[in-house]
Amino acid sequence: MNATLSPQNILIIGATSGIAEAVARRYASIGANLFLVARNSKKLAIISSDLIARGATNVQLFVLNAHEYDLLPQMVEQAWAAFGIINVALIAYGTLPDQTRAETDLDYAITEFRTNAESVIACLTILANRFETQGYGVISVIGSVASDRGRGSNYVYGSAKSAIESFTSGLRSRLYKKGVHVLLIKPGFVATAMTANLNLPEKLTASPESVAINIQNAISHRKNVVYTPSFWAFIMLIIKLIPNIIFKRLSL
């Protein structure tokens, strides 16, 4: 069977995020089986009912906090036990730290970094070993354009996403030889609950639904890295080209 062009069994970790829910809806509409993981059981139940109504064949749920690393093997085993194979895994959770607080509150800064980097790396490691045994499939993870260059306004978040980018680059090279693909997704501004309190520029802010389309296409075409919307690749190229002598004076 073609394990990536016609995905049927989808594992989503962080399934209650706005982008993840939009992706799940797209797969539900083609009758996929979905294994959803998140920490909020009530939200999971509501999303599950919605996905069944939208056409999902089967929806299984698993409650997990991002830092409960000891539950990761159990989560993975239940996902494979539920559907036999997993075609696509998507890691979609994260937090947006308060940069100002992180500059003075060490515990807070470390916790935010662990959530956005360490816990994601833990998930990737467990999934990589299971997919390697399976011998095919796509592991996808949501990073951020913030990983392209550390900025004064969000470098705790950006550095965590940089760790994910470097990790996925190495993991992609390792698993390519085993028939498993690794996709890094780099959204720009997206109108989700996580960014609800931010004053985002309307013309640069995408909907979760449009980002979900880009993610599904990138998975189908086995892209290594996808900026979504695509114009963020050009924006970040410009930002990366700004000389340090100028960049450090900017309020970005």
* DSSP states of the chain: --TTTS--EEEEESTTSHHHHHHHHHHHTTT-EEEEEES-HHHHHHHHHHHHHTT-SEEEEEE--TT-GGGHHHHHHHHHHHHS--SEEEE-------HHHHTT-HHHHHHHHIIIIIHHHHHHHHHHHHHHHHT-EEEEEE--GGGGS--TTTHHHHHHHHHHHHHHHHHHHHHHTTTEEEEEEEE-EE-SGGGTTS---GGGEE-HHHHHHHHHHHHHTT-SEEEESTHHHHHHHHHHHS-HHHHTTS--
Q: Of 27, 93, 108, 157, which one is the catalytic site residue?
A: 157
Q: Is 157 a catalytic residue?
A: yes
Instruction: Please give the positions annotated as active site.
Output: 157
